[in-house]
Amino acid sequence: MRTVQHRRRLTPAARAVAPWLFLLALLATWSLVVGLAQPPAYFLPAPTTVARKLAQALVSPTFWPAFGVTFSEALGGCLLGAAVAIPLAVAIHRSVLLRAAITPFLGATQAIPAIAMAPLLAIWVGYGIRPIILLCALMVFFPILVAAVVGLRLVDRSVVDAARVDGAGTVALLAAIELPLALPNILAGLRNGFALSVTGAVVGEMVMGGDGLGQLLTLQRDSVDTAGMFATIIVLCAMASSLYGLIVVVERRSATMADLTGEPA
């Protein structure tokens, strides 16, 4: 007789504490490695050294403007990528011919390294914030597009057919049925897109220059400021995690609203 095993669900308190426990374990391991191996500070600084560097950076008058530049680049690139990817996903979903023509080339967008695209964008667009935003958009385009196409493809056809019988037109069908049902997949694509967009902003600044945290990383690398690099990377991780968490909150609220109203999330 087959038994069904249910996945154990964590309580909200345990879910909130788990990341902090993992972080404490990571810091303890880091401290232990530094204490036992005693590597040179330029190779692996102690967590306390990185914490001091981070504290100094957070009160520096030049840090927050650089943070704002990188955040703007990442957010702008992700929004631009989504603005192109989602309508294209709808077009691919609607048109068999377009799907057959475009799908074979979609993987090529992921095969080109971002660091290879950056010099080309600098030549085509010039230097400044615009080519970096474009680089971010290119990096997030494919994950968002694929997630949106998959979400639209998984929409229950019986629901779509019933809406058509009730007289729903193409636009109404898309707005009221297909996009809401595909929203969880689209938000999942945006989650990954935001994280990739931060990477794109840093790569763009390190290759093309700029006034953000990527440029700060370049300066710290050139001066062999390893502790400073660790501190900047921690801030970048926090930025990406915050953007990721924001989309998670939107996902949960949309799912909660759908449960309350009985409509698709």
Give residue 255's pLDDT band: very low, low, confident or very high (50, 70, 90): low
Confidence (pLDDT) at 51: 94
Tens digit of pLDDT for each residue in 122-140?
888 888 888 999 999 988 8
Give residue 1's pLDDT band: very low, low, confident or very high (50, 70, 90): very low
Helix (H) or strand (E) holding 164: helix 157-165
Residue 257 clears pLDDT 70, i.e. is over it: no
Higher pLDDT: 235 or 195? It is: 235
CA distance 233 to 198: 11
Tell me which residue of 120, 113, 111 sits closest to 199, measured CA to CA.
113
Q: Please state, as a whole number, how many other Cβ atoms lie within 10 Å of the Cβ of residue 81.
A: 28
What angle, rounded to 10 degrees, do the helices at 226-261 and 63-94 form? 40
Going along the chain from its start, the domains and CATH numbers come out as 69-94+125-265 (1.10.3720.10)
Residue 244 clears pLDDT 50, i.e. is over it: yes
- The model carries a pTM of 0.81
Per DSSP, helices labelled H in 38-95 are 47-58, 63-94
Give residue 100's pLDDT band: very low, low, confident or very high (50, 70, 90): confident
Tens digit of pLDDT for each residue in 102-112?
877 776 666 67
Confidence (pLDDT) at 66: 93
Count Cα atoms within 13 angstroms, Cβ side, for 99: 13
Please give the distance of CA 55 from its chain centroid, rounded to a whole number: 26
Residue 256 clears pLDDT 90, i.e. is over it: no
Give residue 17's pLDDT band: very low, low, confident or very high (50, 70, 90): confident
Higher pLDDT: 9 or 30? It is: 30
Tens digit of pLDDT for each residue in 44-78?
999 999 999 999 999 998 899 999 999 999 999 99
Confidence (pLDDT) at 30: 92
Please state the rounded mean pLDDT for residues 1-27: 74
Q: Are 114 and 146 in contact (CB under 8 A)?
A: no
